[in-house]
Amino acid sequence: MKHPTRVNHPPEVKLPEGNRSLVAPIYQSVKFEFETVEDTERGYRGEGPGFHYSRNSNPTVRQLELLVAEMQGREDALATGSGVAAIGNCLLSLTKQGDHVLCFIETYRPTRYQVRRLLARFGVSHTMISIDDLDAAERILAERPTRLVVFESPTNPVNKIADIARITALARRHGALTALDNTFAGLHNHGQYEVDIFLHSLTKFASGHGDVMGGAVIARPDLIKSMRTDFITLGAVLDPHAAFLIMRGLRTYFVRRREQCTSALRIARMLESHPQVVRVCYPGLESHPGHALAVAQMKDFGSIVTFDIHGGAEAGRRFADTVQLFAKAASLGSTESLVMAPQMLRPRDLTPEQVKLSGITDATIRLSIGIEDADDLEADLAQALERAAGA
């Protein structure tokens, strides 16, 4: 074989019987070959085992799908290239012209966009209310046949806690599916509820290091099966190398999460007693209106601490410009701490009335707590609060 041929057909290295790698190899391959045309045809039809094209399915991505499904207490999942791809594909796949979706003001902004702008273009209507008003949800579900209820808990950014048992019971009674964006809560929370579909940004706690994007739709096999072809043909798939990195991140998921949540509670308590702070929105605090529900629903309270600062938006800006260990950046759930100033949190697509209901004010600041030393984080926050007050 001449070298130009050889480089395209390199020597195969197979592990001998009884020898295995502890970390599964990355199947960084678009194509997979079967022995015969007959097996290839079967593969194309999805009738036999095996893989043929990585947009349809890839062993490394499949390993991640099975892992996150199990962590969430379900049997199957579809991985996507980002969290919003998981949400968007799911919304498109589960709805059709004439359907109605119930969604909430306290939802990640791109999700609101997808429901209000994207689905609307395809004749899917929606009603958007506050997650605090489940009586209204009950009325709407009773009045209007509804395909899907899309919600979050804890909500972004002010950590409202949705009553998951009530929402799922209401939806079931009225024949609607529930889709819970569980990104804030994490893959280890809420699996005990009769949620039909869990949506996740794997970019956040799952990968945990802020260096890879991914998403997942996790549900029972019949629902995943009904969505699979749509997902394949929409093509927002996860790359095998990204799947590998997310699985590597998941190895330390529980350790990271424990550290983050412990520090978050400590910081929330410190902020609550600080004279420069108006209110703290952290479900681990007894003062939080959703505390009892969070205790009942969750295994921890998360690592997002949101608070309002005295002095409004300008004090918030000074605070965010002054902290040293918190990067002014979007996203959350990584090993490093982050801050979002009021100017970064403004929900520009909501009416003033809706903003009021959302609980976000001109003075709201969101912190994502990382795994740095909690003493250092506290000291940094304290000095920034002093400076924000003093200026």
Ligand X SMILES: Cc1ncc(COP(=O)(O)O)c(C=O)c1O
Q: Which residues bind ligand X (CB under 6 A)?
A: 82-84, 108, 152, 156, 181, 183-184, 201, 203, 213, 215, 331
Q: CB of 244: closest distance to ligand X in angstroms? A: 17
Integer Cα distance of 383 and 386 in angstroms: 5
Q: CB of 107: closest distance to ligand X in angstroms? A: 8
Q: What are phi and psi of 217, to 5 degrees?
A: -110, 120
Q: CB of 251: closest distance to ligand X in angstroms? A: 20
Q: CB of 210: closest distance to ligand X in angstroms? A: 11
Signed CA dihedral, 221, 224, 225, 226: sign only: positive
Q: Which residue has the tokens 């690592």?
A: 303
Q: What are phi and psi of 130, to 5 degrees?
A: -85, 145
Nearest to 198 by CA among 337, 40, 77, 19: 77
The residue number with the shortest CB distance to ligand X is: 83
Nearer to ligand X, 238 or 385 (CB): 238
Integer Cα distance of 366 and 344 in angstroms: 9
Nearer to ligand X, 339 or 384 (CB): 339
Nearer to ligand X, 58 or 156 (CB): 156
Radius of gyration of the chain (CA): 23
Nearer to ligand X, 178 or 201 (CB): 201
Q: CB of 332: closest distance to ligand X in angstroms? A: 6
Integer Cα distance of 206 and 215 in angstroms: 9
Q: CB of 275: closest distance to ligand X in angstroms? A: 31
The residues, any chain, with a CB within 8 Å of residue 96's CB and separated by 6 or more, are 122, 124
Q: CB of 17: closest distance to ligand X in angstroms? A: 41
Q: What tokens appear for 166 in the block?
A: 């009530």
Q: Which residue has the tokens 């903003």?
A: 355
Nearest to 369 by CA among 269, 228, 249: 269
Nearer to ligand X, 81 or 284 (CB): 81
Nearer to ligand X, 214 or 284 (CB): 214
Nearer to ligand X, 87 or 285 (CB): 87
Integer Cα distance of 196 and 189 in angstroms: 14
